[in-house]
Structure 1
Amino acid sequence: MKWRSLIYLILILTAASCSEQDRESSVGDEWINSDTRVLFFDTLTVKSSTLRLDSVVVSGSRRTLIGQYDDPVFGKIRSKSYFQLVPSRYSIDSEAEFDSIAFILRYDKYTSGDTLFSQKYLISKVTEDLEPHDELYYNTSYYSSAADIIADHRFHPRPHSKDSTHISLDNEFGERLFKKLQTKEITDANKFLNEYPGILVEPEVPSTAILGFSKQSYIRIYYTNSGELVNEEETLDLLIISKNTFHNISAGLSTNLLPGLPPQNQSLPSWETGNQSFIQAGSGIATKIEIPHLKSLDDLEGTGNIVEAELKFTLNVSKNKTIRPVNDSLPLLIINQRNEIIGEVLGYHNQQTTARIIKEEYEFSTVEYSVPIKKFIDDKIYEYDGDNWSLLMYAPQINSSVDAYELFAEDAPKEQKMKIEITYAIYDE
């Protein structure tokens, strides 16, 4: 076949060009008594592309995200949050008088976007049962809410210097809730949730940042009890039910680099996206990496084995667009030909395999990563249906952040290009 001949030619030329690096080596007991020639090459074909997962599970996220900003690559990044809460108690003195009600949103210090500008949140009452439709909540999960707004709050975020933001809610809403508790119309969690399924907090357009909030946030009712000598100020808190509190995250795309993405079973090749591929948490955008011609190694003369295999790639952290995060490691999964996730990428001791930083050159706006993939390649060669396996690289904290990454692809300039480096031992020629 033509492609096999072509790959074979490339491998032979690479081996010849690297002949000065060839070395005698004993790489295992099997080869101790034989002459072993070790070849190193980095020209095996690799193909990268960008895909979007149909949905991301956000159940169990340790924070909730609220806000919006415009990203030059991913378009309008937006997150709104649904909260389910129940009272800490169901008793209020019959002589007590309502004062006010507020949502205390506690910062957890996560931010993305520009927090120098003021932000505005709108709060409304959820009007349908806030229960997962399929046992889990996803970034696409949506529930109806009332048209009436119970808070319209503008503030300057201070996530690193304050512990919370105080949002005053509509007094009529608060007093109605107060009376239902005070008159024993609501006496337990079931009755409360039938009347108040949840609260929706969403950003008003335009906004410039997404903020992370702790699930230790709460709604507080302030009221006064008449005492014999002085009036006593009291509070009653509505506490968050963590398992039914989640965010809905979307990436609008419609930019020059990413005008849109097809369904999950397809991906957008890097040559259509500026010789880059992309990752974005929250909305489930990830990079697919294919290694299509592994069996061309069979064309090498003699009997041999892969000794080492590493995938290397470079992040674009240029500040010309927007500040991108740099994470110590990036996780990978195995996907099939339909881009369905079928497993983790593991090492020979069943340890999780992640891409880790090996070089940082901020002068050139790049950070280089390397990930060992020998076991993945061995499995791909020898396992049933392995031919159809690819790698999927995704964002850490995929369900609790909106962090984004730009990867230089296989057709990028030489010092930036994505590549696979293989050390191959031939021990029987």
Structure 2
Amino acid sequence: MQLTNHCFMKRLSILAAMACLTACDKSGFSYDNVVDGGNVQYSLLDTLQVQMRTVQLDSVRTSGTGTGLVGSYADPVFGKFTSHTTFRLGLPPATEPGLRAIYDSLELVIWPDGHYYGDTLPPQRFQVYQLTRPLLLPDEYFALFSHQDFPIASAPLADVTQYIRPTSGKALHLRLDDAKGIELFEMIRNKSDDLKNEDYWRDYFKGLSIRGVNNTAAFRLLMNDTAVVMRLHYHIANTTVEEKTIDFRMNLPELQFNTFRYDRTGTAIAGLQPGPDGISGEATGNKTFSQPLTGAVTRIDFPSIAALQELGRYGRIMSAELVIKPDNSTLKDYPLPPRLTLTLADKKNFVTQGDTLSDAAGVQYGNLRVDKLYPENNQYSWDVTAYCRAMMTADVYTYRGLLLAAPFSEFHTQLNRIVVGDGNGKQYRAQLKIYYLLYE
């Protein structure tokens, strides 16, 4: 069959790469279905094209993660980021303060979980708002996403500036408006109908939103019924003062969600928009960018993989490894993500199912090798043998590319980011290494 010019050039590039290689280490591989005495060529191909680009995914699901992300910060590579979290509170346990009870204060108690991004040394300002519409799933939605928001009251219930030490293990106490506290206290004492059941309560107290104001860091919070409490303090004066509390705890954790806003003005990916094209590595200095929580991920394709079939009728990929190197110049104050995964994606960058990337545990996190003496040798690697074998014979319907992203458990809750070299980079070049067996 006559080859097209495009295929012919791909074949020439592969043959040239094989011809330039000297002896390879063949240990550790089995030669299945190879007849003794045949003409066997066994080569390492490490010049195959690795095409990489940064793409923008659609809105990220953020509800039901058990974490809230609140605050803002400026990243020199990824731009400005702002987030707030929204949630509902349930009814308190039945209680009767009595006529001798005296209101003291109302506060929101929340717990950081230790994860943060940015500069935590300056004081941070937070505001707490009531929702003006009940926090419910919109029609035809199964979850809430990062682009969604609910309207809030014009005035905050709290406006607090304080120092936060997210790794101290201490809770944050945000003092709320006393007018609201007294109102709630009198409703409890008078057994208001608004406290009759959850439906009445939801119509009265529609939900809360915690928002940062010009912060220098974004903080992650635990979001569950033990870590988020609106606490009403009161006391009863007898011969001694008896201090008491009434707790409104977070409920319906599946509805708690985070809303993100980002501004990439002035960055290399300022023009990144949702869609299949993205921005090529060549357009951003032979680098690609990944911060899954904001929807920026790296797309990887091997456009010449199908041309391996043209080397001969009987050939087999014995092993294939993808190696990606982080750009060390972008890592000041930003640690390397300890785990990164490769995910199958169609031409529109929708994640698809498949078993060509799974290891024995069902997922590959990437093998991170850190060289503290020579950081330029830091790298992630993945076994892509099964994937490359499948893509050799893929057609327009079955072809899948790869997305470089955080593991699913971290994708919706962490701001970890990374910049890596693409397949044409010099110092941090990405490589696909294929051990190929050809039997004539």
Q: TM-score, normalised by structure 2?
A: 0.90
Larger strand proportion of the pair: 1
* Amino acid in the other structure paired with 2:173: H
**Is 124-133 or 383-392 further displaced after alignment?**
383-392
Offset at residue 348 of structure 1 (A): 6.8
Q: What pairs up with 1:310-321 in 2 under 5 angstroms? A: 310-318=321-329
Does the CA-based 8 Å contact 1:381-1:387 persist in structure 2? no
Structure 2 vs 1, CA of residues 181 and 366 (structure 1 numbering), >3 Å: closer, same or farther? farther
Structure-2 residue corresponding to 1:107: 112
Distance 2:17 2:131 in 1: 63
Structure-2 residue corresponding to 1:416: 428
* Amino acid in the other structure paired with 1:294: I
Matched, 1:156 2:159: no
Structure-2 residue corresponding to 1:41: 45
Percent identity between the two aligned chains: 23
Q: What pairs up with 1:135-214 in 2 under 5 angstroms? A: 135-185=142-192, 186-205=195-214, 207-214=215-222
Q: What pairs up with 1:7-22 in 2 under 5 angstroms? A: 7-21=10-24
Q: Which runs of 5+ in 2 are unaligned?
A: none
* Amino acid in the other structure paired with 1:426: L
Task: Indicate the SS of the match to 1:213.
Answer: strand
Does the CA-based 8 Å contact 2:111-2:170 persist in structure 1? yes
Does the CA-based 8 Å contact 2:114-2:169 persist in structure 1? no
Task: Indicate the SS of the match to 2:294.
Answer: coil
Offset at residue 365 of structure 1 (A): 5.4
Distance 2:422 2:57 in 1: 20
Offset at residue 184 of structure 1 (A): 1.2
Offset at residue 270 of structure 1 (A): 1.0
Q: Which runs of 5+ in 1 are unaligned?
A: none
Does the CA-based 8 Å contact 1:317-1:366 persist in structure 2? no
Does the CA-based 8 Å contact 1:316-1:367 persist in structure 2? no
Distance 2:282 2:241 in 1: 71
Distance 1:115 1:154 in 2: 13
Q: What pairs up with 1:118-133 in 2 under 5 angstroms? A: 118-133=123-138
Can you list the C-alpha shifts for 1:265-323, whole angstroms capped at 9, x where unaligned?
Answer: 3311111112111111321211100111212112213511111111111012436x742
What's the RMSD between the two structures over aligned residues? Answer: 2.1
Structure 2 vs 1, CA of residues 32 and 98 (structure 1 numbering), >3 Å: closer, same or farther? farther
Task: Indicate the SS of the match to 1:172.
Answer: helix
Offset at residue 237 of structure 1 (A): 0.9
Structure 2 vs 1, CA of residues 287 and 173 (structure 1 numbering), >3 Å: closer, same or farther? same
Q: What pairs up with 1:378-393 in 2 under 5 angstroms? A: 378-383=389-394, 385=396, 388-393=399-404
Task: Indicate the SS of the match to 1:379.
Answer: helix
* Amino acid in the other structure paired with 1:357: L
Task: Indicate the SS of the match to 1:190.
Answer: helix
Task: Indicate the SS of the match to 1:339.
Answer: coil
Q: TM-score, normalised by structure 1?
A: 0.93
Distance 1:404 1:24 in 2: 37
Offset at residue 145 of structure 1 (A): 0.5
Can you list the C-alpha shifts for 1:188-209, whole angstroms capped at 9, x where unaligned?
Answer: 222211111111111112x110
Alignment partner of 1:82 out of 83, 86, 93 = 86
Alignment partner of 1:298 out of 309, 315, 321 = 309
Structure 2 vs 1, CA of residues 362 and 152 (structure 1 numbering), >3 Å: closer, same or farther? farther
